[in-house]
Structure 1
Amino acid sequence: MKKFILSALTSPLLASISIAADYKLDPMHSNARFNIDHFGTTTNHGGFYGIEGTVAFDPTNKTGAVEVTIPIESLNTGAKDFDNHMKSADLLDIAKFKNMTFKSTEWIFNGDKPTEIKGELTMMGKTNPVTLKATKFNCYENPMFNAEVCGGDFTAIIDRTLWGIDFLVDMGMTKDVVLQIQVEAVKQ
């Protein structure tokens, strides 16, 4: 009887504590958007959707790992002609490079929540370090999946020329691209 009472008292507590687990990205709530200044006049923007990937997350031991594949075909800027130009050899060269990938190398935590995810972004056949800073992060019990979901909003500024994307830089267009990443991942 004591075991039953102890179990009944501790089960709700244990259910609220995240432990090391594997997660799969929810493509409906995961995307990578970008903004780039257009000659000081306007801001060009767009996003990539249908992102796939996996996350391993252990808030107790303050560790994590993420691997994400971003399909270039999913690019959407709101204008078909601009989408096609972004996919051309001038910029992302979809004929040669179908995907971008991000793989984490280190997670930085404040308490049980990540504040930064350091990793490597591969684009255009080149790999460079990128640090994603968390602006929001949370785990919750999702009623639609009947499972824990963890996710957040992350941001970074990258120099696109490091990946060989230098279209119009010599004409005065900025090298800096603001990335805004939204991800939610479902516990498996």
Structure 2
Amino acid sequence: MYRFLSLSTIRFYHKALTGLLLSAWVVGSSHAAIYHIDPTHTNVRFAIDHFKTSTNTGGFYNLTGQLEYDPVANIGNVSLIIPLNSLMTGDKAFDIALKSADFFDIEKFPLARFESTKWHFQRDKNRPAVTKVDGMLTLHGQTNPVTLTATKFNCYFSYILKKSVCGGDFTTTIDRTKWGISKYTLLGITEKVDLTIQIEAAKQ
């Protein structure tokens, strides 16, 4: 066909075809892969000052949810469901107290949820690095924004699972009174709670 076309016309068609192929590649690569949260490697741990003497710690386990991630397009999304009945502090009496209506009130609010709204990236040695994740935390029947700081995030191929796995560690500090949990703040237990979130998910 080309022998009947001018050189300029041929170059035009080649340029147009190249542009279409590039556009198709970009569109195809912008679809984030879906990963299912691994409950055995995903948890939320908390630390709160105890009358300025020591630090009480505990955690929530067996989380479920979904992760979406595309490092080429800098796209990320994560949703977590946190079963509050999984709370463990190492002290059964303290666990019961925290699960009561004075604090988490798990009979009325058995689940907490986190839904990301925006992921922040920066280039690190020519590789995209997750730096922060903004989102909404629903706890105790109330929803407020939080920002998680990524201390690390990476993906690798698991030879055990025979699939790609992504995960990382995140930290934040929340004011528990914003979620209506204010017991004993007037007696000296701080409203500030430090959270450490470990997330790991396997590609579907």
CA distance in 2, matches of 1:56, 1:109: 15
Amino acid paired to 1:172: G
- Of 157-166 and 111-120, more deviation after overlay is shown by 111-120
Q: Percent identity?
A: 52
CA RMSD of superposed structures (Å): 1.4
Q: What's the secondary structure of 2:161's corresponding residue?
A: coil
Matched ranges for 1:143-162 at <5 A = 143-162=159-178
If the length of structure 2 is used for normalisation, what is the TM-score? 0.82
Larger radius of gyration: 2
Q: Per residue, is there more helix in 1 or in 2?
A: 2
Counterpart of 1:4?
none
Counterpart of 1:53?
65
- 45, 70, 77: which one pairs with 1:33? 45
Matched ranges for 1:41-120 at <5 A = 41-111=53-123, 112-120=128-136
Q: Which runs of 4+ in 1 moved over 6 A?
A: none
**Contact preservation (8 Å) 1:20, 1:60:** no
CA distance in 1, matches of 2:200, 2:122: 19
CA distance in 2, matches of 1:55, 1:183: 9
Counterpart of 1:172?
188
If the length of structure 1 is used for normalisation, what is the TM-score? 0.89
CA distance in 1, matches of 2:91, 2:189: 20
Amino acid paired to 2:71: P
**Contact preservation (8 Å) 1:20, 1:58:** yes
Amino acid paired to 1:37: D
Counterpart of 2:10?
none
Q: Deviations over 1:27-58 (max 9, x none)?
A: 11100000000010110000000000101111
Unaligned segments of structure 1, at least 5 residues: 1-16
**Contact preservation (8 Å) 1:31, 1:182:** yes
Q: What's the secondary structure of 1:157's corresponding residue?
A: strand
CA distance in 1, matches of 2:160, 2:44: 23
Q: Deviations over 1:95-116 (max 9, x none)?
A: 1001000000000011222110
CA distance in 1, matches of 2:32, 2:180: 38
Amino acid paired to 2:169: D
Deviation at 1:61, TM superposition (A): 1.1
